[in-house]
A and B are shown apart, each in its own frame.
Chain A
């Protein structure tokens, strides 16, 4: 059992959270980061669903990696991902209907999330199942982390609420404060992500190019 949580495996799990984050460093999964981050709640559920699906699709693909014919490997990976996404969305509809209604199309969009394909190609095709599982989980959580940070700023500044609770008091509005509607537009997500990348790079000298 000790080898399951060796130092190397811990690193596989933890590097995507910071120094090798899928969004800010690998620049994967930007598309859905734009779409689901105007409110906190869908961002959280989306982040968790992606973490679960990356972990399990990495695991499954890694299990069958030696049998996959090279020429159709992308198609096989896509089939595995699409199957898992469909099963997750069906299960959500059966046990947590309210959440599935809120997420509506976003669950289906997980299939097109570049992080999934990126991690399958870059990691699961060449590593053992358990390492791949950790890598998928780490990347999914790293993705969720950025999504939640972006959604925090967009919802707070764009709607004045967090998780639909009013944060900015009515008195501010009476004094002439106006919600920044621009924050709800997709481009602002890119600008916030750019600010996060800037922040991360200025803190971490290793990431700066010469």
Chain B
């Protein structure tokens, strides 16, 4: 057979494309439920991380059900508009909506008898999206624990925001100063107010600034809730 003729080439290309399309569609469709389940479990792990709860070796959904008592939805006025459903909300999408339409998830949690709040934050670093969860004590002003992660920051530099030694700087910091969000990240070694600020990652200045902006923007949405004692 002449494999160099035009018609053979065109038919060959079409057949290959159809076979590949079916193979990929089949893989994607058959793996979708397992993937969605994993994404949810991963989100639960991240929220639990902001409560200092270690999920190693345990089912994340069981631990989540034990600690998180409600996934409320707030509006920017600080009013609770739904008692559940916050888990399904994508914070990054909400930040693109007009302020009065934003639905803000708030995780109300119970750790060893004490009420904790977890607030999701999302923003952008140097190369791509960054996000995190900020766990607060019941005074709504002291950081209990945090979680940060990134899509594609530079390993060893910007990606260090996901490391324990960066996140361990946060617990105990205060959030509000004169009813504004003062919690933030300063350039490494340039911290002026250690009550509110933590050291950024050296060599990861743009990512650190991204974390700072993300905390101020997203937590700013919860200002009414945080100041309402």
Contacts and interface: CB of A to CB of B under 8 A. Distances in A.
Interface of A: 38-39, 42, 66-72, 75-76, 79, 83, 86-87, 90-91, 93-95, 97-98, 101, 104-105, 158-159, 181, 184
Contacts of A69: 3-4, 8-9, 12
Contacts of A87: 23-24, 27
A72 B31 contact: no
Contacts of B156: 38-39, 158-159, 184
B157 interface: yes
B17 A79 contact: yes
Given A83-B20, A90-B28, A91-B27, 16 more contacts: A38-B155, A39-B155, A39-B156, A67-B3, A69-B12, A70-B3, A72-B9, A72-B12, A72-B13, A76-B16, A83-B23, A93-B35, A104-B152, A105-B151, A184-B156, A184-B157
Interface residue SS majority, chain B: helix
B24 A86 contact: yes
A129 B136 CA distance: 59
Contacts of B203: 181, 184
Contacts of B27: 86-87, 90-91
Interface residue SS majority, chain A: helix
B36 to A, nearest CB: 10
Contacts of A68: 3, 12
Interface string B37-48: 011011000000
A75 B24 CA distance: 17
B152 A105 contact: yes
Contacts of A101: 42
- Residue with the highest number of chain A CB atoms closer than 10 Å, among B3, B41, B157: B3
- Residue with the highest number of chain A CB atoms closer than 10 Å, among B35, B38, B155, B202: B155
Given A75-B13, A76-B16, A104-B152, A70 B4 contact: yes
Contacts of A159: 156
Contacts of A38: 154-156
Nearest to B202: A181
B20 A95 contact: no
- Residue with the highest number of chain B CB atoms closer than 10 Å, among A69, A95, A101, A181: A69
- Residue with the highest number of chain A CB atoms closer than 10 Å, among B24, B38, B154: B38
Contacts of B155: 38-39, 42, 184
29 contacts: A38-B156, A42-B155, A67-B3, A67-B12, A72-B9, A72-B12, A75-B13, A76-B12, A79-B16, A79-B20, A83-B20, A86-B24, A86-B27, A90-B27, A90-B35, A93-B35, A94-B31, A94-B34, A95-B34, A97-B39, A97-B41, A97-B42, A98-B42, A104-B152, A105-B151, A105-B152, A159-B156, A181-B203, A184-B157
Contacts of A91: 27, 31
Contacts of A93: 31, 35, 38
Contacts of B202: 181
